[in-house]
Amino acid sequence: MPNRLSHLERLFPALAESGYLKSSESDPFYNCFAFAVHDTGQWWEKMAVRGYYWPLDRDDRVEDWVAALKLHNFTPTENRGLEPSFEKVCIYVNKDGSPEHVARQLESGKWTSKIGKHEDIEHATLSALEGQEYGEATITMKRKRYTGK
Amino acid sequence: MPSILKRCEKREYRSSHKVHKRYHPYALVQASLPRHARHLGRGYGTATHIAEVMVARRRDDDPALEQLFHEHAERWKSETGHLSSAAKMVIHPSYLRIIGLGHEGLPLILRELRKRPDHWLIALNAITGEDPSPVGATFRDAVGAWIKWGESKGYC
């Protein structure tokens, strides 16, 4: 596989099998949440130190992530499949119930993720990133896809 | 070891009846004396020397410290790079060890921040108690603000 990212394959054993593509270089200035809402100018997290952005009082619970996504017009859905007129995101939750990651669906139906400070990748399935690190893809939300029309 | 520190090891301080090796016991004794018992001239010399030592300790490279820092920094980066949460990254033992270096670690952290921007803001804030970034700063802005702060304090 060209542009193979061995450091990610080690962490996410299902990634190589499901297929993925690197779509950016590493960048510490934004995280998966920022990437999910198309705001790569900020690191989205509630921190006491300046330099971080989070629109709500808390960010450590799944409901906080859901609430923050609702501010960006996302609403919960059970349908993870491709609906061309909707943009979807999916929150990964670990076994302790803590939100760990959020991926965004592309128009192709594949998913795209910013892996912490590492690269952005396109991955064919949500299960590609499931496992010990991010837990399970649990909550899907959608909003009308912006087409520019 | 920096030359000023070598001199410090050898230097002997004499107050009226006692010989005090190294600077800090002497400083403690001096501080405990009533004002009229202190000798201004000697006190000034000692204070100057202490200041020199502090500056030397802060600015001169200590290879062992630098190696320790880089080992922990690399381990921290490789084991937390995939996390989406800086709050989770900074509870890694290596990050905490780096915070534990205290002020001596500041030049190393700031140099690393300048070379490879990363989530060192929490460590810098924990060590110094400062937060030089403007309200509403992005992470990129905050990195720049900390580097400027480091320059203004002579750390980098």
Of A8, A11, A51, the CB nearest to B141: A51
Local confidence band at B35 (pLDDT 50, 70, 90 cut-offs): low
Average of pLDDT values for B109-121? Answer: 98
- The predicted structure's pLDDT at residue B44: 56
Q: How confident is the model at residue B22 (pLDDT cuts 50, 70, 90)?
A: very low
Interchain contact, A101 vs B122, CB within 8 Å: no
| DSSP helix/strand/coil, A29 | coil
Q: Contact B139/A30, CB-based, under 8 Å?
A: yes
CB contact under 8 A, B82 and A118: yes
Nearest to A32 by CA among A59, A71, A2, A3: A59
Burial status of residue B102 (CB atoms within 10 A of its CB: 0-12, 13-18, 19 or more) = exposed
Which residue in the set B78, B83, B142 is minimally distant from A51, CB to CB? B142
- B135 to chain A, any CB pair closer than 8 A? The answer is yes
Of B81, B136, B143, the CB nearest to A116: B81
Same domain membership, residue B88 and residue B53 = no
Q: Which residues of B64-74 are buried (b: 16+ CB within 10 A; e: fewer)?
A: eeeebbeebbe
> Are residue B121 and residue B147 in the same domain, yes or no?
yes
Q: What is the pLDDT of residue B52?
A: 53
Same domain assignment for residues B85 and B103: yes
Q: For residues B79 and B147, state if they share a domain.
A: yes
Both B11 and B84 in one domain: the answer is: no
pTM (2 d.p.): 0.79
Nearest CB to B139 within list A51, A100, A115: A51
Residues B75, B147 share a domain: yes
The string of pLDDT tens digits covering residues A77-123 is 999 999 999 999 999 999 999 999 999 999 999 999 999 999 999 99
Q: How many domains does chain B have?
A: 2
Please determine, for residue B4, whether its predicted confidence score (pLDDT) is greater than 70: no
Per-residue model confidence (pLDDT) at position A44: 98
Strand order in the sheet with A99-105: A20-22, A120-123, A111-114, A99-105, A86-93, A136-144, A75-77
Residues B50 and B71 grouped into a single domain: no
CA A59 to chain B, closest CA, distance in angstroms equals 10
Q: Do B84 and A28 touch (CB under 8 A)?
A: no
> In terms of pLDDT, which residue wins out, A105 or B34?
A105
What pLDDT digit, counting tens, does each position of B43-87 carry? Answer: 555 655 555 555 555 555 688 999 999 999 999 999 999 999 999
Name the residue of chain A whose CA is nearest to B121's CA. Answer: A49
pLDDT of residue B15: 44
User: B85, A31: Cβ pair inside 8 Å?
Assistant: yes
Q: Could you report the predicted ipTM of this complex, rounded to two decimals?
A: 0.92
Mean pLDDT calculated for residue range A36-41 = 97
Residue in A with minimal Cα distance to B78: A7
Instruction: List, in order, residues 6 or more apart from A95 with CB less than 8 Å away.
Output: A135
Boundaries of domain holding B92: 63-152
Asked whether residue B67 falls in the same domain as residue B123, the answer is yes
| B91 contacts on A by Cβ (under 8 Å) | none
pLDDT at A104: 98
How does DSSP assign B6-45, residue by residue? HHHHH-EEE-SS-EEESHHHHHHHHHHS-GGGS-HHHHHH
Average per-residue pLDDT in chain B? 79
Domain ranges, ordered by start, for chain A = 6-27+60-144
CB atoms within 10 A of CB B111: 16
CA B9 to chain centre: 20
- Tell me how far the alpha carbon of residue A76 is from its chain's centroid: 15
Structure tokens at B49: 């020397």
Q: Could you say which residues from 40 to 99 on chain B have a Cβ atom under 8 Å away from some Cβ of chain A?
A: 78, 80-87
| A–B CB contacts, 8 A cutoff, strictly below | 81
**Of all residues in chain B, what percent carry a pLDDT higher than 70?**
61
